[in-house]
Amino acid sequence: MGAHADRWIDAYLDHLRVERGLSPHTLEAYAADLSRYLGLLTAAGTTLQAAGPAEIGRTLAELASAGLSTRSQARFLSSLRGLYKHLVREELLAQSPLELVESPRVSRKLPGLLSAPEVLRLLAAPDVSDLRGMRDAAMLHTLYASGLRVSELVELRLAAVDLRAGVLRAFGKGRKQRIVPLGELAIDSIGRYLANVRGRWARAREPRLFVTQRGTGMTRQAFWKNLKRYSRVAGITRRVYPHALRHSFATHLLEGGADLRVVQTLLGHSDISTTQVYTHVSAEHLRTMHRRYHPRA
């Protein structure tokens, strides 16, 4: 039975690699989860084919007692769900034992969320008397004004920015295009960068808006390195992630009263449930305001 299980898992991982095109890193995570699951089943004296909801529940309890986080448990369970669905689809099992097993509730966190004063300090951190500082200020202003993903920022084309109209065209996941407005501060910062920096640095026919001193586009890793440096200059002691300004853009809009559908459009989310991760932060803001100003709070 164990040989069967190993072959089934290998075939499932091949399916994920060939049919789903998952990355080697993701495949390694799946393989590690499924290998761990088989080991736990063997130790409990049962098999992949015989395991039911009770065995899976005991497995999760063991993982929790071993210190595995709720998020890691949810990922582990997701790996199992995928495997069992595949086995049922291939008619190797009659049904999945996970149909009656609920995933652990995972609180979705927003890494690196910045307060409005922190954002202002971060935007002011680059030295705009320096060419590099002008470029970096323009990038930070653009990111916060538009809510772009970092990958969208570094790939942003010069032709996609219309400073006169105050908008840019962003291409998100699946090459979906959206129009995003820019505020006056971002427009001024980009205009200063275009007037003083890009013409000196950019190679001929380089399409990207933001370039390095070598004349080509910047990588996500290089931008993250700059972000960490400027967060230190701004006096932000905790770790600031690449998505920090995107998270802050969405949260500050909602706290200011923006409609969730509008924020969904600006972020380029195809599903509003993806945008709703920001509402718990806004709800906390509302509770804080209620406690502060309501006479009976």
Please confirm, yes or no, whether 269 is among the known catalytic residues: yes
Residues 145 and 259 occupy one common structural domain: yes
pLDDT at residue 185, as a whole number: 95
Residues 69 and 171 occupy one common structural domain: no
Please confirm, yes or no, whether 12 is among the known catalytic residues: no
Residues 76 and 168 occupy one common structural domain: no
pLDDT at residue 282, as a whole number: 66
pLDDT at residue 137, as a whole number: 98
Low-confidence ranges of the chain (pLDDT < 70): 1-3, 100-112, 174, 280-286, 289-290, 293-294, 296-297
Distance CA 143, CA 127 (A): 18
- Residue among 184, 186, 183, 201 nearest 130 (CA): 201
Distance CA 230, CA 136 (A): 9
Distance CA 249, CA 266 (A): 10
> Of 135, 198, 208, 269, which one is the catalytic site residue?
269
Residues 77 and 196 occupy one common structural domain: no
Distance CA 1, CA 24 (A): 28
106 found inside a domain? no
105 found inside a domain? no
Choose the final residue of a domain: 89, 124, 155: 89
DSSP secondary-structure letter at 46?
Answer: -
> Of 173, 214, 232, 261, which one is the catalytic site residue?
173
> Reduced to 3 states, what is the DSSP secondary structure of residue 162?
strand
Radius of gyration from C-alpha coordinates of the chain: 24
DSSP secondary-structure letter at 48?
Answer: T
Domain span including residue 151: 116-291
pLDDT at residue 230, as a whole number: 97
172 found inside a domain? yes
141 found inside a domain? yes
Q: Which helix (H) or strand (E) holds 168?
A: strand 167-171
Please confirm, yes or no, whether 278 is among the known catalytic residues: yes
pLDDT at residue 58, as a whole number: 82
> Of 86, 141, 208, 243, which one is the catalytic site residue?
243
pLDDT at residue 60, as a whole number: 78
**Amino acid letter at 280?**
H
135-175 pLDDT tens trace? 999 999 999 999 999 999 999 999 999 999 999 999 887 67
- Spatial neighbors of 264 by CB under 8 A, at least 6 apart, are 272, 274, 275
- Count: domains in the chain: 2
279-293 pLDDT tens trace? 766 666 667 766 776
pTM for the model: 0.63
pLDDT at residue 105, as a whole number: 56
> Of 86, 135, 149, 247, which one is the catalytic site residue?
149
The CATH number that applies at residue 186 is 1.10.443.10
Residues 136 and 237 occupy one common structural domain: yes
